[in-house]
Chain A
Amino acid sequence: MTAWSCRGVTFRYPGAPRAAVHEVSLEVPAGSCTAVLGPNGSGKSTLLRLLLGLLSPAQGSVLLGGRPVGEWRRDEVARAVGVVPQGEEAAFPMTVRELVAMGRYPHLGAWRREGEADRQAVERALRRCDVLALAGRALDTLSGGEKQRARVARALAQEPAALALDEPTAALDVSHEMAIFELLRQLAQGGTTVLLVTHSLNLAARYAHRLVLMDGGRIAAQGAPGEVLTRETVERVYGWPVRVVPHAGPGPDAGAPQVVPLAGDPSLDPARAAEDADAA
């Protein structure tokens, strides 16, 4: 089963010299974790907006759950897909619980009052993201990591079949970043479709089942982490010398490819020089 399916999708922002997304075809399987990678400006966030129906493609089709995403009403999409946007800054003070309760809005419409089921969904989402203890705190007193967990909790309170996250761990420290990735793995194991845009090649390789590597609006490679994160592909896309080594473990993800960017001059690295000699 597929959650999303794109065929030849092209999108150009008005006035832009080239298409932000160019003839992209991809499948996002349901109930697993897919990570979209790529350099800055490679079209990752635009692709995400196209998948969510926030932008309409100039060419090609985007299907969400088998139906063109343009035919979905906004509130229907919001009940099916929980989104954690890249950055947001609430204009007025609010508590964590108020923020998370907004996840119920797509279910409530304009007039219906919050019921017991809604309160329980909010409670579960708060507990799941480990922010239940912070529920009464004002949002602007939280650290970056806590705030991000609260946003993920809001998306979970939507009780969606799929979750889309745009760089959820940008600017987080190691433990907060790992906590988010661990949570995403658990969610995918529980049957939630997770679609994630990230710059963390190595964590994506360990936690995602499938990687999509974008470059200049096109897909440079997609597939299992081992197929996508090869030295040749990563060096071509990012224009920087790297080594790819298996993750030493321990853990369930031992053996996942890990990208180690090298110092600027490739001849400085003897192991790499030897590899190149072998290849020749």
Chain B
Amino acid sequence: MKPALRLLLLALAAALALLVGVRVGAVPLSVGEVLDGVRGTGDAATVAIVRRLRLPRAVLAALVGGGLAASGATFQALLRNPLAEPYIMGVSGGAAVGAVLAIVLTGSLASGGIVALCAFAGALAAVLLVFRIASSVGRALDTRILLLAGVVVGAFFNACILLALTFADADAFRSAMFWIMGSLSGATWRSIGVLAAVFVPAILLLFALARSLDLLAVGEETAAALGTRVERTKLLAYGVASLLTAASVAVSGVIGFVGLVVPHVVRMLWGGGHRFLLPASVLLGAAFLVLADTLARTVAAPTELPVGVVTAFVGVPFFVYLLRRRQA
């Protein structure tokens, strides 16, 4: 099968996942009702469910899933480490500190927008801190140092979160925990717009770096010999992938496993360079998170499961299966 055809199929899968995500819920909708809702021609309740609840939530899930998967693939290539994932640079810890502080300090006053803003600021602070530490050691940006700096800064921020939670009242504690667990229930068209403003340029930039990422995954010396400006490319790719992760975390909290597993699934199924891997990961990540979120809000309804539980419960066994299949 040609790569272009595979991408087309994956795009189809993502579109189907979106449709399923909008149809399934407390009020099941037919395809016709969904289309009426989108066009605004159905009855008021259907239009409200589609336009204000399910569609924004599914679209946000698609953007977050696609963004995390692309960012995970990028980090895995840059760090030359299959265990790398979007949160490895301390982004999740920094975002969580920002969000938890916003929740604990303002209590019930904290709107979704303010929490997201603080989370984004925290994530950026974490990324800058990690870069600052890593670039103060040695001449060039050493990926092993960067990895260690990310882990250490992440651990420090986790301690900060525990400290903040110790002094939080019960309500704030509860909402902070829910934020940390990650959820797409706060989806609005505004949050989608904000995320998309980062997502689109970030994805295009990463696509432009695809061949350089192929080379960096083989080795920095090799990449330089084959025409890559290694330091500039590393800095750009880290920066863009971190920013993309920060924006995703700011609107949805910390959702695990998408960024780690999706790129590996694409690699194991089809292999291939980043010119295929990146777009395929975006599409598969989008489809995966939309379906996982649909499952999370319906499987134990009216209780909503944290979406990270679903991504882990589905992702881990599938990953193990793929690992074993490759061994055979």
A116 to B272, CA, bound (A): 19
- Contact yes or no, A102 B217, CB < 8 A: no
- Contact yes or no, A83 B225, CB < 8 A: yes
Q: A46: shortest Cβ distance to chain B, in Å?
A: 13
Q: B260: shortest Cβ distance to chain A, in Å?
A: 14
- CB-nearest residue of chain A to B81: A91
Chain B contacts for A76, CB-based, 8 A = 227
B271 within 8 A of A: yes
- Contact yes or no, B229 A88, CB < 8 A: no
Q: A117: shortest Cβ distance to chain B, in Å?
A: 17
Q: A69: shortest Cβ distance to chain B, in Å?
A: 13
- Contact yes or no, A92 B82, CB < 8 A: yes
A14 within 8 A of B: yes
Contact mask A75-116 → B, CB, 8 Å, 1/0?
A: 111110111011011111111001100110110101100000
A54 within 8 A of B: yes
Chain A contacts for B186, CB-based, 8 A = none
B208 within 8 A of A: yes
Q: How many contacts A-B (CB < 8 Å)?
A: 74
Interface size class of B (residues with CB under 8 A): 20 to 34
Chain B contacts for A75, CB-based, 8 A = 227
Cβ contact of B226, chosen from A54, A89, A90, A106, cutoff 8 A = A106
- Contact yes or no, B82 A91, CB < 8 A: yes
Report if A105-B215 is in contact (Cβ < 8 Å); known contacts: A74-B229, A79-B227. yes
- CB-nearest residue of chain B to A138: B271
Q: B224: shortest Cβ distance to chain A, in Å?
A: 6
- Contact yes or no, A88 B221, CB < 8 A: yes
A187 within 8 A of B: no
A192 to B76, CA, bound (A): 37
- Contact yes or no, B218 A95, CB < 8 A: no
Instruction: Show 20 residue pairs from A and B whose CB-CB distance is below 8 angstroms, ordered by the A residue.
Output: A81-B225, A82-B225, A83-B226, A86-B221, A88-B218, A88-B221, A88-B222, A89-B219, A91-B80, A91-B82, A93-B267, A93-B271, A102-B214, A103-B226, A105-B214, A105-B227, A108-B211, A110-B208, A110-B212, A158-B226
Counting from the closest, the 9 A-B pairs by CB-CB distance are A78-B227, A83-B225, A75-B227, A91-B80, A88-B219, A106-B227, A85-B221, A91-B217, A110-B208
Interface residues of B (CB under 8 A from A): 76-77, 80-82, 139, 208-212, 214-215, 217-219, 221-222, 224-229, 267, 271-273
Q: Beyond A91-B77, A98-B272: 13 further Cβ-contacts under 8 Å?
A: A74-B229, A77-B227, A78-B227, A79-B227, A81-B225, A83-B226, A88-B219, A90-B219, A91-B82, A92-B217, A103-B226, A110-B210, A158-B226
